[in-house]
Amino acid sequence: MQLQLHPFQLQLRDAFRIAHGSRTEQPSMVVSLSQNGHTGYGEATATTYYGRTMENLTEKLESVRALIETTELKQPEDFWDLLYPHLEDDPFVLCALDEAAHDLRGRLQGKPVYRLWGLNPEKIPLTNYTIGIASIDEMVAKMNRLPWPIYKIKLGTDHDLEIIENLRQHTDAIFRVDANTAWTPEQTVELSPKLKALNVEFIEQPLLAEDWEGMRYVYQHSALPVVADESCQREPDVARCHQHFHAINIKLMKCGGLTPARRMIAEARKLGMEVMVGCMTESSVGISAIAQLLPLLDYVDMDGALLLSNDPANGVKIEAGKVFLTEDAGTGVSLKNG
Ligand code: MG
């Protein structure tokens, strides 16, 4: 295979604020793998929250270039096993290469990735649209600008219930809330019936990632299901979440790509947990990789590319929450400038 790096600076339509900070730009590294005249794409973003810069993404990718360029792609799962010892500490880079390998394999076979996995695209969940933390007026304005059947509302302010009460005046859409670790166990349990009465579907990551004792209490007493995000990053975390969360939210960049994500989904199912896949602020390259998993999911948050004003790729189409899976080979992505 040949490896190519395509760095981009993604621009957000609106500043995006969560409990940890705010941003308007997102550096992103798209990688491509080519073999026999076909090219597959994957993506890793540089995220200071996880200590990733464009420089160290580039350095890591260059460190495995020789290995990649002397390897012929057969099964993406074998390629993942080959890379893992070199990229164990770098799931973002592993993710980009794994997504590209799945895309390339699909193109070599002339089939969409989800078809190669034997999945039926007819029953897939709607994706939510995320509303970042802002003044209540701004949050209402954002919601009204994009009518959507499900919104994920970022919380972690000193007036979280007031936000949801106000937003509820303006829409009948389903709400999901994501506290990004900002709440206490008591606060979560106390808020849960009030949020449920406001047609909130679930609470994502209320507590600090390591507060397992607190989560056990919330799991037993919350009126709403709780979904692990920061507490469920890599494969061994799935078993830890059992009986602490009702569902897990898998992010491809945190777990290392589609290959481990499929194993995490299978394990969560075995343990009786529901499954969501979420996204980062990323382009249609990463979003189209997520789309391949849709038939396996209960919930999905794949609005990352919709939040951008300069998506560098064409990929999966999303309209008012509905995701359109196509018969395009691989993940169906193409770069606009390529
Ligand atoms: Mg989250």
Q: How far is the CA of 116 from the centre of ligand 1 (A)?
A: 29
101 and 123, same domain (yes or no): no
Residues with CB under 5 A from ligand 1 (ion): 178, 204, 229
Q: Tell me the angle at which helices 160-168 and 185-197 cross, rounded to the nearest 10 degrees.
A: 10
Residue 163 CB-half CA count within 13 A: 26
Domain count, the chain: 2
Helix, coil or strand: residue 256: coil
Residue 162 reports pLDDT greater than 70: yes
Per-residue pLDDT of 199-212, as tens digits, reads 999 999 999 999 99
Q: How far is the CA of 149 from the centre of ligand 1 (A)?
A: 19
Task: Give CA separation, 300 vs 138, 152, 276, 277, in Å.
Answer: 24, 10, 5, 5
Domain final residue, candidates 110, 134, 165: 110
Mean pLDDT on 72-84: 98
Domain final residue, candidates 43, 75, 110: 110
Q: How far is the CA of 290 from the centre of ligand 1 (A)?
A: 16
Alpha carbon distance 27, 29 (integer Å): 7
Q: How far is the CA of 65 from the centre of ligand 1 (A)?
A: 32
Tokens for 185, please give them. 């166990």
Q: How far is the CA of 329 from the centre of ligand 1 (A)?
A: 30
* CATH code for the domain of 232: 3.20.20.120
Q: How far is the CA of 113 from the centre of ligand 1 (A)?
A: 26
Residue 19: pLDDT band with limits 50, 70, 90: low
Decide the pairing of beta strands 38-45 and 21-35: antiparallel
150 and 267, same domain (yes or no): yes
Residue 281 identity: T
Residue 198: pLDDT band with limits 50, 70, 90: very high
Per-residue pLDDT of 221-266, as tens digits, reads 999 999 999 999 999 999 999 999 999 999 999 999 999 999 999 9
Q: How far is the CA of 206 from the centre of ligand 1 (A)?
A: 9
